């Protein structure tokens, strides 16, 4: 295989040509730490592309987490991608997977993301690494001063754009069609999909989008305080101080050991996030989508019924009793409190708190995405994943966050060690065939279809959605009234300008600003 940078030696596996650990940019080390990715230069001879590249540096995972994976290697030199292609691929659709992990963890080498089954359906599958944590999302005034654009911080997102540019230059050599590229991701990968949809530098690099459990939360700005959040450059100065580094001494910070930097920054409580810088990211996601500035591409978006069951750290402490719960809701939601309590009653606080946080972050985002794409007159498809099985239910994890992934990739036997084991039975096999079929069909044509499974109508057809439960079935009007409630809350908080709109849900919600004429 010959790419723009040189020849590659891959492997043949079950009718596929597989190439792992392909560098798509120069190593972001030394002076290139906290710089936009530089294009990979040419190499001499043939390069082995047999093994996955190292995972990007990240803290050691919590051993009790169902998502925890052990990687054989981690490195700052991690900007690689992997390709699975049918051996006879010619002008095949391309599916680019962006892993999740809160912009802090994860890797393209996770076995559950193996692209073989999707590739055997006729796709060329690409999975990518991108810088994480402080190495991927660290802003500082000194770094902005170095930049011709006057910005800093969004290096992980720039890595993703560089990977898509690599796809445009090289995927034809693997039998892929650079004019039919689908970007897809889950959780932080889906967050990344949304930012790629609004990033000017990513325009024209993809043609469809899939966002699984995306969260359109408030983003900090680079240089100013917005919605109660400090500027990311200011956060960068705070972090340098916590790390014992001299102000503005980027040379010293670049000289620090990368692994020590990642672990030390994690211990400070630093939370990496995309910054609204006016260049890479022009404005808040909600505003870009309201203005219709996002890429006008067909889209699948959805969420899972039990998102928060495996993410309980997102829940606030439970009130002492139902009376205290109701009092907190009335204090925070004012005139919307009765509506909130109708959807999330005090009679079962735990379930109400799980559902409220799920809906405010993931459900509201999914429906908003498909509604805004539909407004651009492009097809958009909504789903609700409510499938489960005994071992997950027994662990209190019905429909948990990311549970849909092995069904889409056909990798039920390759989940992380603590993941509730997926049964080998007809129900789960059929669900995987359905989801893999819908996703691969969408990548192929922009319309999700699966043999022997129902037609999936677009959202614009009467607020339609696909309900993945025991089986797949089409339905209408998912969770009536819930989207409207959270849209009103977000609108009021945006108008007030002092409150973030997604992290403070339910009993910890600050009082809403007063009525605003333009809020629905």
Amino acid 67: pLDDT:
96
- For the chain, state the CA radius of gyration: 22
The predicted pLDDT at position 449 comes to 98
Q: Is 393 helix (H, G, I), strand (E, B) or coil?
A: helix
- What DSSP string runs through 405-418? HHHHHT-GGG--TT
φ/ψ (deg, to 5) at 176: -95, 160
Mean pLDDT by 10 residues, the chain (520 residues): 93 97 98 97 94 96 86 97 97 98 97 98 98 98 97 98 98 98 98 98 98 98 96 97 90 95 94 97 98 98 98 95 97 96 97 98 98 98 98 97 98 96 96 98 98 97 97 98 97 93 94 80
Helices 188-198 and 155-170, interaxial angle, to 10°?
Answer: 70
Q: What is the pLDDT of residue 207?
A: 98
Which one, of 236, 228, 81, lies nearest residue 162 by Cα? 81
Q: Is 343 a catalytic residue?
A: no
Token code pair at residue 362:
């993931």
**Cα–Cα nearest to 488, from 339, 282, 370:** 339
Could you give the dihedral angle defined by the CA atoms of residues 300, 301, 304 and 309, in that order, rounded to the nearest 10 degrees? 140
Q: Can you tell me the distance from the alpha carbon of 58 to that of 76, in angstroms, rounded to the nearest whole number?
A: 9
pTM of structure: 0.97
Phi, psi of 509 (to 5 degrees): -70, 130
Catalytic residue among 234, 307, 326, 463: 307
Per-residue burial over 442-462, b = 16 or more CB atoms within 10 Å of its CB, e = otherwise:
bbbebebebeebbebbbbbee
Looking at residue 502, its pLDDT comes to 85
Q: Which helix (H) or strand (E) holds 368?
A: helix 364-375
**From edge to edge, which strands make up the β-sheet containing 2-3?**
2-3, 6-9, 46-48
Residue located via tokens 């990642």: 262
Tokens 């677009």 locate to: 458
Q: Which of 140, 207, 387, 401 is catalytic?
A: 401
Angle, CA 158 vertex, CA 155 and CA 160 arms, to 5° = 115
Q: What is the 3-state secondary structure (H, E, C) of 418-452?
A: CCCCCCCCHHHHHHHHHHHHHHHHHHHHCCCCCCC
Q: Has 401 been annotated as catalytic?
A: yes
Distance CA 125, CA 83 (A): 6
Closest Cα partner for 34 from 265, 227, 333? Answer: 265
Please say whether the beta carbons of 380 and 366 come within 8 A. no
Across the chain, how many H-helices and E-strands are there?
A: 17, 16
The whole-number pLDDT of residue 41 equals 94
Q: Which of the residues 187, 265, 288, 464 is marked catalytic?
A: 187
187 tagged catalytic: yes
What's the pLDDT at 514? 77
Q: Which two tokens stand for residue 347?
A: 């009679």
Average pLDDT, rounded, for the chain: 96
Question: What tokens does 158 get?
Answer: 């720039």
Identify the pLDDT of residue 331: 97
Tally of residues, the chain: 520
């Amino acid at each position: 295989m010959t790419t723009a940078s040189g020849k590659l030696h891959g492997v043949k596996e079950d009718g596929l040509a597989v190439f792992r650990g392909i560098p798509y940019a120069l190593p972001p080390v030394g002076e290139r730490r906290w710089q936009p990715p530089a294009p990979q230069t040419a190499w001499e001879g043939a390069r082995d592309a047999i093994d996955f590249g190292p995972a990007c540096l990240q803290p050691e995972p919590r051993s009790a987490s169902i998502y925890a994976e052990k990687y054989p290697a981690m490195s700052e030199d991690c900007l690689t991608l992997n390709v699975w292609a049918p051996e006879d691929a010619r002008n095949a659709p391309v599916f680019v997977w962006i892993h999740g992990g809160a912009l802090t963890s994860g890797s393209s080498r996770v076995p559950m993301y193996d692209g073989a089954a999707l590739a055997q359906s006729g796709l060329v599958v690409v999975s990518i690494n991108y810088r994480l944590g402080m190495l991927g999302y660290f802003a500082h005034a000194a770094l902005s001063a170095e930049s011709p654009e006057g910005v800093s911080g969004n290096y992980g997102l720039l890595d993703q754009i560089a990977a898509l540019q690599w796809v445009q230059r090289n995927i034809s050599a693997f039998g892929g069609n650079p004019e039919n590229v689908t970007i897809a991701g889950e959780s932080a990968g889906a967050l990344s999909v949304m930012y790629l949809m609004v990033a000017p530098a990513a325009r024209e690099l993809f043609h469809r989008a899939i966002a699984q459990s995306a969260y359109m939360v408030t983003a900090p700005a680079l240089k100013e305080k917005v919605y109660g959040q400090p500027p990311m450059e200011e956060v960068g100065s705070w972090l340098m101080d916590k790390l014992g580094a001299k102000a503005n001494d980027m040379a010293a910070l670049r000289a620090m050991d990368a692994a020590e930097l990642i672990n030390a920054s994690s211990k400070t409580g630093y939370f990496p996030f995309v910054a609204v810088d006016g260049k890479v990211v022009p404005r808040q996601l909600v505003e870009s989508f309201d203005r219709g500035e996002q890429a006008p591409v067909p889209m699948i978006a959805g969420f899972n019924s039990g998102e928060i069951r495996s993410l309980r750290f997102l829940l606030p402490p439970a009130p002492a009793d139902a009376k205290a719960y109701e009092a907190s809701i009335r204090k925070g939601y004012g005139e919307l409190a009765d509506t909130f309590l109708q959807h999330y009653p005090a009679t079962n606080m735990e379930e109400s708190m799980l559902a409220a946080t799920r809906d405010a972050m993931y459900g509201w985002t999914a429906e908003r995405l498909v509604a805004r794409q539909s407004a651009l007159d492009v097809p958009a498809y909504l789903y609700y994943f409510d499938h489960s099985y005994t071992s997950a239910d027994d662990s209190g994890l019905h429909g948990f966050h990311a549970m849909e992934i092995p069904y889409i990739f056909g990798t039920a036997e390759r989940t992380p060690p603590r993941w509730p084991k997926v049964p080998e039975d007809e129900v789960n096999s059929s669900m995987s065939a359905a989801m893999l079929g819908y996703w691969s069909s969408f990548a192929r044509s922009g319309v999700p279809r699966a043999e022997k499974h129902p037609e999936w109508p677009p959202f614009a057809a009467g607020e339609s959605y696909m309900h993945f439960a025991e089986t797949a079935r089409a339905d209408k009007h998912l969770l009536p009234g819930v989207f409207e409630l959270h849209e009103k809350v977000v609108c009021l908080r945006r108008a007030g300008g002092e409150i973030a709109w997604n992290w403070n849900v339910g009993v910890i919600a600050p009082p809403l600003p007063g009525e605003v004429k333009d809020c629905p």
